[in-house]
């Protein structure tokens, strides 16, 4: 008896669904792409409970007759390509013919469609991969697909879904990406019966970015346009000095397809090497265009990644183009009008000025509130003042710590390069890294505060408004308890808008928004796990120690000796929270060896 067998189509479709349909947002992505490929100028997306119970995508595209509608539910049935060579000249989002049968195999799937010239439309109902009925229906030209009870036929996959809030955020982010890629298409997004946004056709890319990602983000952007041969680069990039803690607002399109491209991402990061501090990422909405034959979009099941035929040529072109633009800005050039920006194709219309952007969505802040007010000055513990001596732990062989209750017997010699304090000791010479030492002291002080309960905070006289993208907003709402424990009070103030009403005593109000964005960056990277609050608080303390401390100029000997005393009162005085050494000791023997002296 043969051990090899051909899998039934239903099982094969469920396996394919495991690769293509990772979460509800993947369903929305595939169906929105189909709508755009059908020539739709209006796309409406509705979902409930994070997409678990309902997803409906309706468009006014070309629609299908009954034969095509039935054939579309077969595996690898597509109208986009006919031969393998067609992959070299793709001009559509979809091409594999896997999405519809994959979705229908793991949900209750209803398709209603009508093509122009047909007297009636076609309705097809599939439940868990099994056809229920095929019949006529009345509807306008176009297609409506309703997906309910996602993953009910594969409960193991359903267990891996996140909270409704998180899944909703991914759907919203997905729809907004395609709305950004296709400004000539009107998009409507409805969540749980409430309209999230209704975006008409936009005249400029800046207008669409401001409408989708907020005016705070749009105000930090400048236009970019460059071309070399068949390579074109356009869109919007952040001004020098405007960065983010993660790469999530570095959005790249290749031939209008939103993708994750290491080549383009690294080129953008390298271009900002001298314009952003280390560890910060540029803000960018970049549209890269090239010959379809020069890029392979068939390297990932969900088509998220692409591969270029000549990666070095693409990378060097992007770096040259972005660097040239940044240097123009550094020379003080005023931004050019958005009408000259290279981006997705739109119908030429008079460009609207930034000031005439449509008002925010319901519940959002008024335009004036987008300008953060002058924050009140708060006092916070600073290392500029002399630090009171604290009894230090008993000395060990590995750490040249003073005896408990006594002063540090290091003789201060001076400062080098502003950050290094030089001391003479009985064993040799010590070079103390002031920042690393202060970070260690501050880190352990914050940990002690967190262990004792909520950190002390101070309310702001004027709350600071801040706007986030949908995913960041959902993550922020999920971590409200942790924020309160750290001394923050952040109130929701409209969809994706918040007000910082109180900050920790150790944080200056001017740095509150940047710290909050870095906090969300840690959440996105999985470094603030909900199930391990101690680890999450430790990561927040590490972030605070790295971001909120400022070195004073020309500290005196008393301040530096006090810093050493407090350093050796910590549990781990040898390293900073990031693992860097706090000091380096050169012993008499090492000095003699360096100077080639005989002992």
- If one counts every other C-beta atom within 10 angstroms of the C-beta of residue 469, the result is 21
pLDDT at 118: 93
CATH fold match for the domains 205-355 and 457-504+507-547: no
Give the span between the Cα atoms of 175 and 188, in whole angstroms. Answer: 9
Task: Residue 110: name the closest of 71, 65, 149, 77 by CA.
Answer: 149
CB of 314 closer than 8 Å to CB of 263 = yes
Cα pseudo-dihedral 85, 91, 96, 101, rounded to 10: -150
Task: Please give the structure tokens belonging to residue 441.
Answer: 């002291």
Task: Please give the structure tokens belonging to residue 114.
Answer: 């009508």
Which residues are CB-neighbours of 30 under 8 A, at least 6 positions away? 20, 21, 94, 99, 100, 103
Q: Is 577 helix (H, G, I), strand (E, B) or coil?
A: coil
What phi, psi does 485 have (nearest 5°)? -65, -30
Count helices and strands in the chain by DSSP H and E runs: 17, 24
Task: Please give the structure tokens belonging to residue 350.
Answer: 């008079």
Q: What angle do CA 24, 25, 29 make, to 5 degrees?
A: 125
Task: Please give the structure tokens belonging to residue 126.
Answer: 């599939």
Q: How far is CA 265 from CA 247, 258, 269, in A?
A: 8, 13, 6
Cα 4 off chain centre by = 45
Q: What residue ranges of the chain have pLDDT lower than 50?
A: 81-82, 86, 334-342, 345-407
Give the span between the Cα atoms of 32 and 345, in whole angstroms. Answer: 18
Q: What is the pTM (predicted TM-score) of this model?
A: 0.65
- Work out whether strand 186-191 and strand 42-48 pair parallel, antiparallel, or are unpaired: parallel
pLDDT in tens, 217-274: 888 999 999 999 999 999 999 999 888 877 888 999 999 889 988 999 999 999 999 8
Q: Is 595 helix (H, G, I), strand (E, B) or coil?
A: coil
Kindly state the DSSP code that residue 377 receives in the 8-state scheme: P
Q: What is the distance in angstroms between the CA of the first residue and the CA of the last residue of the chain?
A: 84
Give the span between the Cα atoms of 504 and 507, in whole angstroms. Answer: 5
Give the span between the Cα atoms of 91 and 295, in whole angstroms. Answer: 12
Task: Please give the structure tokens belonging to residue 131.
Answer: 């056809």
Give the span between the Cα atoms of 277 and 306, in whole angstroms. Answer: 29
Which residues are CB-neighbours of 258 under 8 A, at least 6 positions away? 177, 178, 180, 181, 251, 252
Mark 66-92 as b/e (b = at least 16 C-beta within 10 Å).
Answer: beebbebbeeeebbbbeeeeeeeebeb
Which neighbouring-strand residues pair with 137?
A: 121
Dihedral sign from CA coordinates of 105, 109, 113, 119: positive
pLDDT at 377: 33
Which residues are CB-neighbours of 94 under 8 A, at least 6 positions away? 30, 33, 34, 37, 78, 80
Q: Is 312 helix (H, G, I), strand (E, B) or coil?
A: helix
pLDDT at 289: 94
- Work out whether strand 250-254 and strand 257-259 pair parallel, antiparallel, or are unpaired: antiparallel
pLDDT at 344: 55
Pick the CATH number of 205-355 from 3.40.1190.20, 3.30.230.10, 3.30.565.10, 3.90.1300.10: 3.30.230.10
Judged on CB neighbours under 10 Å (0-12, 13-18, 19+), 508 is: middle
CB of 291 closer than 8 Å to CB of 382 = no
Give the span between the Cα atoms of 143 and 136, in whole angstroms. Answer: 14
What ranges do the domains of the chain cover? 9-199, 205-355, 457-504+507-547
Task: Residue 355: name the closest of 333, 370, 341 by CA.
Answer: 370
Give the span between the Cα atoms of 503 and 370, in whole angstroms. Answer: 19
| Residue that has been written with the tokens 């890629």 in this structure | 181
What phi, psi does 322 have (nearest 5°)? -70, -40
CB of 246 closer than 8 Å to CB of 201 = no
- Work out whether strand 250-254 and strand 284-289 pair parallel, antiparallel, or are unpaired: parallel
Which neighbouring-strand residues pair with 142?
A: 114
Pick the CATH number of 457-504+507-547 from 3.30.1370.100, 3.30.70.1400, 3.40.50.300, 3.90.1580.10: 3.30.1370.100
Which residues are CB-neighbours of 5 under 8 A, at least 6 positions away? none
**Fold annotation for 9-199:** Heat Shock Protein 90 (3.30.565)
CB of 379 closer than 8 Å to CB of 399 = no
């Amino acid at each position: 008896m043969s051990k090899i067998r051909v899998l039934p189509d239903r099982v094969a479709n469920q396996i394919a669904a495991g690769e293509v349909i990772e979460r509800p947002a993947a369903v929305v992505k595939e169906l929105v792409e189909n709508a755009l490929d059908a020539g739709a100028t209006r796309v409406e997306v509705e979902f409930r409970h994070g997409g678990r119970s309902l997803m409906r995508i309706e468009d006014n595209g070309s629609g299908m007759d009954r034969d095509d509608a039935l054939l579309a539910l077969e595996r690898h049935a597509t109208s986009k390509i006919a031969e393998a060579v067609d992959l070299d000249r793709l001009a559509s989002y979809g091409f594999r013919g896997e999405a519809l049968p994959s979705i229908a195999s793991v949900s209750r799937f209803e398709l209603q469609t009508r093509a122009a010239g047909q007297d009636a439309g076609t309705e097809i109902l599939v439940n868990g991969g099994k056809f229920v009925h095929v019949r006529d229906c009345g509807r306008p030209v176009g297609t409506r697909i309703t997906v309910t009870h996602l993953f009910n036929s594969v409960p193991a996959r359903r267990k891996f879904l996140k909270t409704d809030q998180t899944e909703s955020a991914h759907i919203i982010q997905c729809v907004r990406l395609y709305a950004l890629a296709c400004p000539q298409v009107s998009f409507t997004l409805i969540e749980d019966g409430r309209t999230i946004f209704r975006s008409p056709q936009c005249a400029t890319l800046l207008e669409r970015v401001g409408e989708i990602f907020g005016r705070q983000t749009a105000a930090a952007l400048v236009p970019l346009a460059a071309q070399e041969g068949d390579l074109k680069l356009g869109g919007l990039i952040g001004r020098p000095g405007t960065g983010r803690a993660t790469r999530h607002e570095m959005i790249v399109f290749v031939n209008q397809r939103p993708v994750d491209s290491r080549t383009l991402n690294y080129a953008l990061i390298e271009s900002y090497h001298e314009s952003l501090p280390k560890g910060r990422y540029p803000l960018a909405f970049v549209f890269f265009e090239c010959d379809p034959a020069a890029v392979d979009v068939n390297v990932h099941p969900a088509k998220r990644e692409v591969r270029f035929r000549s990666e070095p040529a693409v990378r060097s072109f992007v770096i040259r183009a972005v660097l040239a633009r940044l240097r123009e800005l550094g020379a003080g050039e005023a931004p050019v009008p958005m009408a000259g920006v290279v981006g997705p194709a739109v119908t030429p219309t008079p460009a609207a000025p930034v000031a005439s952007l449509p008002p925010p969505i319901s519940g959002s802040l008024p335009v004036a509130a987008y300008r953060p007010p002058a924050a009140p000055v708060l006092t916070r513990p600073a290392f500029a003042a002399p630090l009171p001596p604290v009894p230090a732990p008993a000395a060990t062989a590995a750490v040249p710590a003073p005896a408990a209750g006594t002063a540090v017997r290091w003789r201060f010699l001076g400062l080098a390069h502003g950050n290094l304090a030089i001391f003479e000791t009985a064993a040799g010479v010590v070079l103390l890294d002031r920042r690393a030492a202060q970070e260690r002291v501050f880190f352990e002080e914050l940990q002690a505060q967190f262990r004792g309960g909520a950190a002390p905070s101070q309310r702001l006289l004027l709350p600071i408004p801040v706007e986030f993208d949908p995913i960041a907003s959902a993550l922020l709402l999920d971590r409200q308890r942790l924020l309160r424990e750290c001394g923050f009070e952040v109130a929701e103030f409209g969809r994706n808008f918040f007000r910082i009403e109180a900050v920790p005593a150790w944080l200056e109000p001017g740095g509150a928004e940047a710290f909050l964005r870095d906090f969300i960056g840690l959440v996105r990277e999985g470094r603030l796990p909900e199930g391990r609050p101690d680890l999450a608080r430790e990561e927040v303390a590490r972030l605070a120690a790295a971001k909120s401390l400022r070195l004073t100029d020309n500290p005196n000997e008393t301040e530096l000796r006090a810093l050493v005393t407090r350093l050796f009162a910590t549990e781990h005085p040898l390293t900073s929270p990031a693992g860097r050494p706090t000091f380096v000791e050169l012993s008499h023997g090492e000095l003699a060896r360096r100077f080639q002296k005989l002992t």
